Each structure stands twice: as C-alpha cells, then as structure tokens.
Amino acid sequence: MVKKIIDQYGKDGVIVVLGSPDADSSELYAETLINGDPSWLGPLAGVSLDLPVYHIMEPEIKSQIDPAVYKEHLELLEIALDVEKITEGLNRVRQG
C-alpha cells in the first residue's frame, strides 16, 4: 500500500507517522520504510523508499497538534507508551 501511495504522489512532501506501541516495532517500521524490508519477505524487500518516519508521540510532532485534539485522542496513551525509548529507536534508524 505504501509503495502504491509513493508511486501515485511521489516522495516529495510525503511523510509517515506511526502509532506503534513500543520502540522495537517503531524501529522495524522505520527500517522498512527507510531502507527496505529487513526480512526480505514483503513487497518492500530491496526497496529503499527513504521516507521521513516519525511517531505521533514524538515531541517534534506532538507540539504541532491542536491541544484539544491531543487531549481527546492521545493524552491517556502517553502514560502507556515509552515515548523516550520510541524516539531514541527512531533516531537510531533515521541517523543510519
């Protein structure tokens, strides 16, 4: 599906926002969407899309969300997710 979207819109101005529950799954999504499927099994095997990947809870993204909307949808989840670890994991993949 992601590849279809990129074929349709191109990569310019397209970013990915994740809602994954932990650092490991966030890293795996980011690795796949930046460098291609590391398991070499899915449709993105060998396809390096090099997309900007962020998590919805990362401070850089969170700060741009309307506070009322954030409160309604994300505030409670912030307690359950380890945002610091997720951000660390994504930074690792983004920095190569």
Partner 1 sequence: MELKGKRVIVIGERDGVQGPAIEECIRSAGAEPVLVQTQCFV
Residues between 36 and 65 that touch partner 1 (CB under 8 A): 51-52, 54, 56-57, 60-61, 64-65
Taking phi over 0 as left and psi of -120 to 50 as alpha, with beta for the rest, 23 belongs to: alpha
Q: Which residues pair with 53 in a beta bridge?
A: 16
The answer to whether residue 9 forms part of the interface with partner 1 (CB under 8 A) is: yes
Q: Around Cβ 8, how many Cβ atoms within 10 Å?
A: 8
- 55 contacts 93 by C-beta, under 8 angstroms: no
Give the shortest CB-96-to-partner 1 separation in angstroms: 17
- 73 contacts 57 by C-beta, under 8 angstroms: no
According to CB under 8 A, which one of 28, 35, 37, 74 is a site residue for partner 1? 74
Provide the binding-site residues for partner 1, judged by CB under 8 A.
1-2, 5, 9, 13-22, 25, 29, 51-52, 54, 56-57, 60-61, 64-66, 69-70, 72-74, 77, 81
